[in-house]
Amino acid sequence: MKRKNLIRNILIVTALGIAIMFFTNVIFAASTAKITVETANLRESANEDSRILVQLSLNDEVEVLQKSGNWYEVKTKDNVTGYLREDLVEVSGDVEEVSNQENNTEAETEEPQEQETTETSTESTSNTRIVKENTKLKIVPTINATDIVEVKQNDEVIVIETIGDWICVESGTTKGWIRSDKLMTLEEKAKQDEEAKAAEEAAKKAEEEKTQEQSAKTMYANSATVNVRKEASKDSSIVEQISLNTAVTVLSEEGGWSKVSVNSKEGYVASNLLSSSKTQETVTSRGSTTTRKSTEETATQPETTTTVSSGKGATVVETAKNYIGYSYKYGASGPNSFDCSGFTSYVFKLHGVSLSRTAKAQYSNGVAVARADLQPGDLVMFGPSVAGINHVGIYIGGGQIVHAANASRGVTIDTINSGYYNNNYVGARRVI
């Protein structure tokens, strides 16, 4: 009898074990999701303003824990748990959905704690900072506080203490409050100056090489009579007249005009009146000579055929290419790392053009450009819609853009004629 009871107990335990394993597998069978955008922010809570825990790239896979409203709670392969918006992922399998009220209650509970931590984290320091731009010191650390004194860009101030996003500094004999994002360290200033100088030298070198290449170019007058003018204007005085097939040395080109040297004189010729090869002449039966263009036709022809913007756009592209291989960092705008809109803002700023900070905001800069009319230097935007623009790059020609792609690829070149960028193309803007 005891043996039968023992066997029966063993069978019961075995059956219970199998049942537990079965139900455990059912319970823990997780749904998965794949990232469908170039870069997705995994946030601490289901809120656009919550802290970013990590950035995920296109096609990364995560485990879906539950859904709350238009947010998914997910876990990455590195066991980081956070929230992703539903429009950033493609989910496979069923997902448990919880009420928004429960999630909002948690968010409301956590937010005051974070705020309290920020407000009580007062740190005393005593070091030097550099002012990034002209601003005014406040009597207390709030935006609407009374101004005390103005501090200038590149002024040095001494840090007294820090409260949240505000820093109490001493400028001369005056103490006041300034936002931390208006200051940088001496090391950051030195590095910024070094990077700016390197970028300026690179742009200058590229321009010099372009000028040298152009200066070695020989062109030929393609009309019976061509005027060499003192200035780059058809109303400027004539310094020399040259005939058909006269060779000139092109020193530079800009705005549809070529600066040339001919017969020991320098002046300007409309670029459309010059050709890279000589014009063929034809002799008639009466012995007279005809040319491809007559003097009268030359006089009525427009003298400007190119635009300044196309040349500047090409220069912007050359500058942008100098940063290929630099790292991607969310919220960074140079000079050593960038996010997508930080990269475009930084490059255009080097050419005197100020852009809005985000990709979506940059869609309101400049003028709209049809996809068929894209030129080097145009901004190209991507996303599920105009309202959902989440990426921007600089068009370089040939259906390609240079852009700060994501954390794994950094600044690189991609085609917009296939794949993700072709499917999520929103529009383009010309800002230069």
- What pLDDT digit, counting tens, does each position of 322-333 carry? 999 999 999 999
Q: Tell me, what DSSP letter sits at residue 230? A: S
Taking the C-alpha atoms of residue 141 and residue 177, their distance in angstroms, rounded to an integer, is: 5
C-alpha torsion 185→191→197→198, nearest 10: -160
First to last CA, the chain: 96
Whether 351 sits among the annotated catalytic residues: the reply is: no
Residues 254 and 241 in one domain: yes
Q: Which of 340, 369, 394, 402 is catalytic?
A: 340
316 with 423, same domain: the answer is: yes
- Looking at the fold, whether 373 and 352 belong to one and the same domain comes out as yes
403, 405, 426, 432: the catalytic one is 403
Confirm whether 55 is domain-assigned.
yes
Each residue's pLDDT tens digit, 239-283: 999 999 999 988 888 888 899 999 989 999 998 888 888 877 544
| Residue where a domain terminates, one of 306, 336, 367 | 306
| pLDDT of 14 over the 80 cut | no
DSSP H/E element including 66:
strand 61-68
Give the domain range for residue 220: 213-306
Contact 366, 354 (CB under 8 A): no
Side chain identity at residue 62, one-letter code: V
**CATH number of the structural domain spanning residue 141:** 2.30.30.40
- The answer, yes or no, to whether residue 124 has pLDDT greater than 60, is no
CATH number at residue 404: 3.90.1720.10
Say yes or no to pLDDT of 88 above 80. yes
Query: Among 50, 46, 75, which Cα is nearest to 63's?
Result: 75
Count: domains in the chain: 4
- Assigned domain for 179 exists: yes
The radius of gyration of the chain from alpha carbons, rounded to an integer in Å, stands at 33
391 is catalytic: yes
Smallest CA-to-CA distance from 247 within 224, 222, 266 is with 222
Of 26-40, 123-137, 203-217, 392-406, the range with the lowest mean pLDDT is 203-217
3-state secondary structure of 153: coil
Among 90, 113, 136, residue at a domain's last position: 113
Same domain, 319 and 425: yes
In a domain, 11, yes or no: no
Q: What is the rounded distance in angstroms from the CA atom of residue 40 to the CA atom of residue 324?
A: 22
Residue 20 resides in a domain: no
168 is catalytic: no
Question: pLDDT at position 19, please?
Answer: 59
Confidence at 367, pLDDT banded by 50, 70, 90: very high
**Can you give the pLDDT at residue 349?**
94
* Region of 68 on the Ramachandran plot (φ > 0 left; ψ -120 to 50 alpha; else beta): beta
User: 61-68 and 97-98 as β-strands: parallel, antiparallel, unpaired?
Assistant: parallel
Active-site position among 391, 394, 395, 428? 391
Residues 232 and 259 in one domain: yes
Residue 203 lies in a domain: no
Q: In this structure, are 181 and 225 located in the same domain?
A: no
